[in-house]
Amino acid sequence: MGKIFDPVFMIHSFPEVLQALPTTLFIAFMSAVIGLVIAFIVSFIRYANIRILSPLAKVYISFIRGTPDLVQIMLVYYGIPLFLKAINAKFGTAFDVNGVPSIAFAIVALAINAGAYMSETMRSSLLAVDAGQLEACYSVNMTRLQALRRVIVPQAIGIAIPPLSNSLISLIKETSLVFTISIIDIMAQAKIVGSRSFRFFEIYVVVSIIYWVICAIVAFALSKVEVYARRYERKVDK
């Protein structure tokens, strides 16, 4: 009878699993950047209550919140090729449906998901800034855009960073789902390594440690960003 738990195998598995770390980090980084752009656009649409666009933004957020992440990945993975085929049939274009890499589908799906959650964080942060400051900006002849850019948004960013940090950490963990669309990320690499000896418990301990360390580093870095972003806030003596 073999060992119930093999720490030596676990230690030796780290280098092999870490080979897929760049793929995981790339997906997380690109999804975060695109997700933040989506979040900024959607949050301002809802904050300004733009007609037609604001209700559409609400539907988008509601759909993302109400469906599993894995389902969203599958919808993008199977939906984009159908969309490209429909464009080719309609307009006679020649988009290479099979030429789109799986990693692109993963980034799009995770960015759409993250954008919905982060947009609500940004909108609530904009609303948290005292409305009187906007009126004060108008009193010195600032336009709405100038007031947002110079006064409201800088304060909202400081408020938004802690919940945005949680969203970014969640995004990193959600990359563990992309192995379902044939991407060799940390999870997929772990399954490959674990299947050789059927030491799946040990290999998932390795995966847990890797994700934990990554998230801890990101959380630490974002805490420093928060301190920098809020450096001009008035300190209240205790």
Average pLDDT over residues 183-195: 94
The CA distance from 216 to 143, in Å, is 41
Give the pLDDT of residue 175: 96
Give the pLDDT of residue 234: 58
Tokens of 181: 């669309």
Helices assigned H by DSSP within 19-152 = 21-48, 53-65, 69-91, 102-128, 131-139, 144-147
What is the percent of the chain with per-residue pLDDT over 90, rounded to a whole number? 63
Average pLDDT over residues 180-187: 94
Residue whose C-alpha is closest to residue 36's, from 115, 106, 108 = 115
The CA distance from 34 to 50, in Å, is 22
Is residue 1 scored above 50 in pLDDT? no
Average pLDDT over residues 195-224: 93
Mean pLDDT of the chain: 90
The CA distance from 214 to 176, in Å, is 13
Give the pLDDT of residue 135: 80
Give the pLDDT of residue 237: 45
Is residue 42 scored above 50 in pLDDT? yes
Q: Give residue-wise pLDDT tens across range 223-235.
A: 998 888 777 665 5
Q: Give residue-wise pLDDT tens across range 129-159.
A: 887 877 888 888 888 788 888 888 888 888 8
What is the percent of the chain with per-residue pLDDT over 70, rounded to a whole number? 96
* Domains annotated on the chain, with CATH: 22-183 (1.10.3720.10)
Is residue 236 scored above 80 in pLDDT? no
Record the pTM.
Answer: 0.90
Give the pLDDT of residue 78: 94
Tokens of 38: 């989506």
Give the pLDDT of residue 103: 95
Q: Give residue-wise pLDDT tens across range 61-119.
A: 999 999 999 999 999 999 999 999 999 988 888 888 788 899 999 999 999 999 999 99
Higher pLDDT, 136 or 40: 40
Give the pLDDT of residue 3: 78
DSSP 8-state class, residue 235: P
Instruction: Kindly report each contact of residues 49-55 with a partner whose C-beta sits within 8 Å and lies 24 or more positions away, as own/partner.
Output: none
Backbone φ and ψ of 123, nearest 5°: -65, -45
